Structure 1
Amino acid sequence: MSTVRVERTDDGFRAVNGRGGEITIGDSTDEAAFTPVELLLAAVGGCNIVSVEPLTAKRGHRLVRLAMDVDAEKVERNLLGPVTVTYDVEQPAGDERAEEIFKAVAHRVHERACTVSRTLAEGTSVTVDA
Structure 2
Amino acid sequence: MTDTPTHAVTLTRVSEGVYQASNGRGAALTVNGDGNFSAVELLLAALAGCTSVDVDVMTGRRAEPEVFEVVASGTKSAEGGNHMTGLQVRFRLRFPEGPDGDKARARIAPAVKASHDRDCTVSRTIELGTPVTFAIETP
TM-score by length of 2: 0.83
Residue among 72, 75, 84 paired with 2:74: 72
Query: 47-56 vs 9-18, which deviates more?
Result: 9-18
Residue among 106, 118, 122 paired with 1:100: 106
Q: Is the 8 A contact 1:70 1:86 kept in 2?
A: yes
Q: Give the whole-Å Cα distance in 2 for the aligned partners of 1:88 and 1:25.
A: 27
Q: Which amino acid in structure 1 is aligned with residue 76 of structure 2? A: K
Determine helix, strand or coil for the equivalent of 2:102.
coil
Large movers: runs of 4+ above 4 Å: none
What does residue 45 of structure 1 align with? 48
What are the within-5 Å matches in structure 2 for residues 1-16 of structure 1?
1-10=6-15, 12-16=18-22
What does residue 135 of structure 2 align with? 129
Q: Give the whole-Å Cα distance in 2 for the aligned partners of 1:111 and 1:23.
A: 30
- Unaligned 5+ segments in structure 1 are none
What does residue 3 of structure 2 align with? none
What does residue 32 of structure 1 align with? 35
Q: Is the 8 A contact 2:59 2:105 kept in 1?
A: no
Q: Which amino acid in structure 1 is aligned with residue 67 of structure 2? A: R
Q: Give the whole-Å Cα distance in 2 for the aligned partners of 1:67 and 1:85.
A: 10
Q: Give the whole-Å Cα distance in 1 for the aligned partners of 2:60 and 2:117.
A: 19
What does residue 56 of structure 1 align with? 59
Q: Is the 8 A contact 2:58 2:107 kept in 1?
A: no
Q: Which amino acid in structure 2 is aligned with residue 90 of structure 1? A: R
Q: Is the 8 A contact 2:60 2:104 kept in 1?
A: no
Residues 103-128 of structure 1: per-residue CA shift (max 9 Å, x gap)? 21122112110000000010111111
1:98 to partner: Cα distance: 2.7
Question: What RMSD in Å do the two structures reach over aligned CA positions?
Answer: 1.6
1:10 to partner: Cα distance: 4.5
Residues 31-53 of structure 1: per-residue CA shift (max 9 Å, x gap)? 32110000000000010111211
Q: Is the 8 A contact 1:69 1:86 kept in 2?
A: yes
Residues 72-100 of structure 1: per-residue CA shift (max 9 Å, x gap)? 00122611102100011112112333322
Q: Which amino acid in structure 1 is aligned with residue 123 of structure 2? A: S
TM-score by length of 1: 0.88
Q: Give the whole-Å Cα distance in 1 for the aligned partners of 2:30 and 2:122.
A: 20
- Unaligned 5+ segments in structure 2 are 1-5
Q: Is the 8 A contact 1:7 1:14 kept in 2?
A: yes
